[in-house]
Structure 1
């Protein structure tokens, strides 16, 4: 059984802590990273999605450069060992990884269109640099849409609609995690391939970053994916009470809404300080797989751990 993790913030952490000498190929979490080469290899990760995230404190004038810096770190510090981890640009690349075995793939995703600075040419440049997935917002508003924490709760802007159309033309995937509810429904009307890369269910945990039941049903109807995440405050209303069993409650709820074939995982490792006990890094995915196999049929667990992401990307990249 292999894994595909739909979201991690390794590149952000490498950029933010550039003076600390963090090393993807170094000594695991002693080196400050949750996702490491040794961890993904131990857990038989086939593909890791690496987010490019520009935090809101970065001035707008610098956001594009920070995004480029993180992309550069992907190639210089993560893909530097090309015989171990290589970039994935297409479904064919992913098929090739699976056929040959022994290597791990990395896929770039932009988390928040702020870095584009309102320019479709910046989107096209990132596409040429290997970015294949875009989340329109983080939690706040930008040129494309409102984020989930923006009180206004607006949907796609005029530029946001142009951006989605250009993504669709290029063959990119749209990530609705962090997006406002109105923005979510605007996106669902476009027909572009959609995932919620790292979101849980609001019926189980009331955090606004989680998906409402009608959003889950819409993703199921549209053959999207729901990347169940390991963020404690998205698992339980009391983050200190978050457990692996809490993650399973979100899975159970998605299944109750008809989504058993649309479940995947998006860890958000390296983007969170608090962790679920026992699930502190990529090496722990093996443990989670074992817990799932105690409760669910193996064919279903295989889908959730990797095959659903694999099939989705084969169809849409």
Structure 2
């Protein structure tokens, strides 16, 4: 079964690890060989800039990751750069779609031209924050009552004009609700259900329902502390509990996957890398039908991006 995965941090590792290569580097959880082994047909590669970098170095760090995407990921013959969503339906046997996303707008400061430069590289999804405050909004680790900053309206307007999906996964609660009426296309690329695991990075039932009500989708993440309270390691079965709960709220068609491979220090047993995706699929098939699992694995997201009826006009 083909997989569309909305989040990995391979680009960060490719720019930081010495002599790193995308094809078969054992230090990568979502290397090309592991994507192939796990039947990952489309992978989103996040541009992630570490919060502890000096402000004047953050944009350059983002540019370096874009360069790594082109020189280390797209140089592999199997990889196809997805710049238009219709390309998802044109991928041939043996090809894997590669999509750029921006995980937080820290690297742009309050400069819209920097965002335009990043979007011009082919970015298709943008999160306003990581976990901390920046010039646009407040992250999940900040005061949940603080809303979007004034600059956020300019940022979201540009994203709407460019038909970019706005990612809510790292926003704090008030920022999330402030964003709902502003963004045309919304998604949670890698978040779980707070009702199952009470963590600020997860979404409440109300948030999940409102996200889907506003045309968005929910993609579950494989990071153990977001799956089971206080746990550094957990089981696939516990992740399935999140899927079951979200499905009870908003339906199978609004659920997908966003692993966060290469952005985690901990892992799920038997789901530690992209090559083990089949173990997750088997676990889901114990609860859901093949059609339902394929909807979560790839068909739901494909419909979301290619069918205007599924997005708010």
1:111 aligns with one of 103, 112, 115: 103
**Superposed CA RMSD:** 1.4
**Which residue matches 1:22?**
20
1:155-170 → structure 2 map (5 Å cutoff): 155-170=147-162
CA distance in 2, matches of 1:315, 1:119: 32
Please give the secondary structure, in 2, of the residue aligned with 1:249. Answer: helix
Note closer, same or farther for the CA distance 1:152–1:229 as it changes in structure 2 (3 Å cut).
Answer: closer
Contact 1:147 1:153 in 2 (8 A): no
Deviations 1:208-238 (CA, angstroms, capped at 9, x unpaired): 1000110010122123111111000000003
Contact 1:5 1:47 in 2 (8 A): yes
2:222 aligns with one of 215, 230, 245: 230
1:77-88 → structure 2 map (5 Å cutoff): 77-81=72-76, 83-88=77-82
Using the TM superposition, give the Cα deviation of residue 138 of structure 1 relative to its aligned residue in structure 2, in angstroms. Answer: 0.5
Deviations 1:37-71 (CA, angstroms, capped at 9, x unpaired): 11111222111000000010111101110000000
1:253-268 → structure 2 map (5 Å cutoff): 253-268=245-260
The answer on 1:5 being equivalent to 2:5 is: yes
Note closer, same or farther for the CA distance 1:136–1:283 as it changes in structure 2 (3 Å cut).
Answer: same
CA distance in 1, matches of 2:278, 2:150: 44
Q: Normalization by structure 1: what TM-score?
A: 0.94
CA distance in 2, matches of 1:296, 1:183: 34
**Which residue matches 2:27?**
32
Please give the secondary structure, in 1, of the residue aligned with 2:119. Answer: helix
**Which residue matches 2:121?**
129
CA distance in 2, matches of 1:59, 1:315: 41
CA distance in 1, matches of 2:259, 2:233: 18
1:145-294 → structure 2 map (5 Å cutoff): 145-151=137-143, 153-240=145-232, 242-294=234-286
CA distance in 2, matches of 1:190, 1:290: 38
Contact 1:174 1:193 in 2 (8 A): yes
Contact 2:146 2:175 in 1 (8 A): yes
**Which residue matches 1:60?**
55
Please give the secondary structure, in 1, of the residue aligned with 2:252. Answer: coil
**Which residue matches 1:45?**
40
Say how many residue pairs are matched: 309
Could you list the runs of 5+ residues in structure 2 that have no partner in the other structure?
A: none
Using the TM superposition, give the Cα deviation of residue 292 of structure 1 relative to its aligned residue in structure 2, in angstroms. Answer: 1.1
**Which residue matches 2:68?**
73
Moved more, 241-250 or 227-236: 241-250
2:89 aligns with one of 91, 95, 102: 95
Note closer, same or farther for the CA distance 1:26–1:215 as it changes in structure 2 (3 Å cut).
Answer: same
CA distance in 1, matches of 2:227, 2:289: 23
Contact 1:216 1:259 in 2 (8 A): no
Q: Higher helix proportion, which one?
A: 1
CA distance in 2, matches of 1:172, 1:246: 32
Q: Normalization by structure 2: what TM-score?
A: 0.95
